[in-house]
Amino acid sequence: MEIRPAVQSDLEALMGIFENAKQIMRKSGNLLQWTDGYPAEGVVLRDINDGHCYVACEEGEIIATMALIPGPDPTYTYIEGCWPDEEPYYVIHRLATAAPGRNIASQIFDWAYRYIALKGYKSIRIDTHRDNCIMKHILTKYGFTECGVIYLESGDPRDAYHLTL
C-alpha cells in the first residue's frame, strides 16, 4: 500500500469513500456521525489544499483517506477528562476506508506514526462519535487511550483519544 498526499483530482474518489464509510457506520448502529452532508466537498478540498489530506492506494486505486493535521486543534482545548500531557501533537480527522476488515487502519496508523515522528512529534489525538464502535475498537487495538469528551464547534460531543509514541 502506498500513502501519498491527496490532490484535487482525487476528490470524486474521496467523496465516494466517505459515502461508503457512512453506510458502514449506519449498518453498525452509528446513526448520528457524519450527517447533513459532512464531510462536504469544501472541507475535503480545504484539507487537500492545506496539505493535510492523505490517501492510501493499492494498485493505483484509492482505498482510504485521512486528514493528518498538526495541533493545536481548537476543539481539543476543553475536554471533560484530561489529556495525558500538553506536548505538541498531530490530529487525525476524517479517517475512512473503502471497505472494512482489510487491516487498512493499521497500515494508516503505522504510516502516521512514522510521519509525525519524523516531524519531531510524539503524540496523536483523534476523536469519534460515542456510537462508532468500529473506530473505538480500532483505536483501542492500536494503543490509543480514551481521555474524555470534547465538543465540536456544533456542540456535538465526541469521545477523545490520545496516543503517545
Q: Which CATH class is domain 2-164?
A: alpha beta
100: pLDDT strictly greater than 90? no
Which residue matches cell numbers 456510537? 131
Strand segments, DSSP code E, in 1-89 are: 2-5, 53-58, 61-70, 80-81
116: pLDDT strictly greater than 90? yes
Structure confidence at residue 74 as a pLDDT band (50, 70, 90) = very high
102: pLDDT strictly greater than 80? no
pTM for the full model?
0.93
* CA-based torsion, 140, 59, 64, 116: positive or negative: positive
Cα→Cα distances 57→6, 49, 63, 129, Å: 10, 19, 6, 26
Share of the chain above pLDDT 90, in %: 90
